[in-house]
Structure 1
Amino acid sequence: MNIVGFNVVPYNGLIDKNEFSKYTTGVRTLDTFLFEEIEKIEEDNKSLLSVAYINDEIVGMFALSTAQTTNNETSKQSTRTFRKANMRYSNLPMISIDHFSVNKKYQYVDDPSNEQYHVGSALLNVIYETVVMLRVQYNVAIAGVSVDALPNAADWYEKQKFVYVNDEEENTPVKDAFKMIIGYEMIEKAYYILHDHKTD
């Protein structure tokens, strides 16, 4: 397994917009977000896009914003994620992944004979680092991360330890997106394991 390191820059800090226009995820809805919606979304300060490079090539992107989860929509799995906090508070502070994609060229293919760059997992760890730094360095309370996962990505998020917000969604095969979450403790654990640190 190859762990990938990135240079990550804000979308509005891109020097070469031509590189951005060449980028494709292979998924129409994700590409539509990038090429038709992101300008307006950033202008309205609804979400901000970050672009990950290796050398001069864009390998992935993610957009983050703040969000809340409410305890009346949580599943048994997410109740375990947030433990007693779900009973104490009507909502919890979250970071929302509004867009997450990997350049089609670098997407994982299940082929043992082909060396794979785990760009998606490495890119998710960049998000985890952002969350941990907000909590540890800037003392900002964050209960976890949420995402509206596309149907073909839900299994991947499950492998990354995300859980469904609604118990019924896990067994609903036809849906535009699945609301999934991961708690801060799991994020911190994953981050420190990858960086060879020990959690307290």
Structure 2
Amino acid sequence: MKRLGFDVVPYNGMIDKKDFNKYTTGVQTLDTFLIEEINDIEKDNKSLLSVAYINDEIVGMFALSTAQTTNNETSKQSKQAFREANTRYSNLPMISIDHFSVNKKYQHVDGAPEDENYHVGSALLNVIYEIVVMLRVNYNVAIAGVSVDALPRAADWYEKQKFVYINDKEENTPVKDSFKMIIGYDMIYKAYCLSHNMEH
């Protein structure tokens, strides 16, 4: 695995917006979101985009906002993710991943030798986990976990990252625009500690 050392900056803090125009994910819906929607979404304070650079090249992006999840029709796995809190409260505070993408040039290629593959997606997810842990530990903000509406082609990847389907029916629905998935705070904290070589 190639080692990654990138800088993450707010979209509005980008030095050169021309870099943004060169970025493509290879997925039309994701590219459309970035080109046509992100300015209005940021202006409305609905979600905020962060941009990850290696040297002068954008390698990935993610947009985060606050959200809530309800425990209606939740899956057995999501009940485990939230432990007993799932039965005590009708909704729980979450961080929502509203956009998550990797530059097509840096995406994982199945079958390629491991030393030729980048793992930008996993590294970006660890940045999000660090944000969540810092909010909880340093700023005393309650967060039960992270949610995402995963595109069908990304759902398997999120499963590998320990996300679970929030509804049992979604997991077995073959054709959907997106799948609602979550990961609980305990799993996030474990992943954060692992990535920072800490004991938890």
- Identical positions, percent: 80
What secondary structure is seen at the aligned counterpart in 2 of 1:16? Answer: coil
- Is 2:136 the counterpart of 1:135? yes
Summarize the alignment of residues 51-200 of structure 1 with structure 2, pairs less than 5 Å apart.
Answer: 51-113=51-113, 115-199=116-200
The one-letter amino acid of 1:167's match is D
Match of 2:53, SS state, is strand
Deviation at 1:6, TM superposition (A): 1.5
Counterpart for residue 16 of structure 1: 16
Q: Deviations over 1:107-137 (max 9, x none)?
A: 0001243611100000000000000000010
Q: Give the structure-2-normalised TM-score.
A: 0.98
1:2 is aligned to 2:6: no
CA distance in 1, matches of 2:41, 2:73: 26
Letter in structure 2 aligned against 1:37 = E
Describe the SS at the equivalent of 1:26: coil
Letter in 2 for 1:95: I
Q: Work out the number of aligned pairs and report it.
A: 199
Unaligned ranges ≥5, structure 2: none
Partner Cα distance (2:71, 2:158) in 1: 21
The answer to whether the Cα contact below 8 Å between 1:69 and 1:91 also exists between their aligned partners in 2 is yes
Which letter maps to 1:73?
Answer: E
3-state DSSP class of the match of 2:153?
coil
Runs of 4+ in structure 1 off by over 3 angstroms are: none
Q: TM-score, normalised by structure 1?
A: 0.98
The AA in structure 1 aligned to 2:58 is I
Q: 1:3 to 1:184 in 2, by over 3 A?
A: farther
Structure 1 counterpart of 2:121, one-letter code: G
Structure 1: state its 5+ residue gaps: none
SS of residue paired to 1:124? helix
RMSD: 0.9
The letter for the 2-side match of 1:88 is: R
Query: What is the identity, as a one-letter code, of the residue corresponding to 2:136?
Result: R
Q: Decide whether the 8 Å contact of 1:3 with 1:119 is kept in 2.
A: no
Contact 1:5 1:122 in 2 (8 A): no
Distance 2:137 2:45 in 1: 25
Letter in 2 for 1:40: D
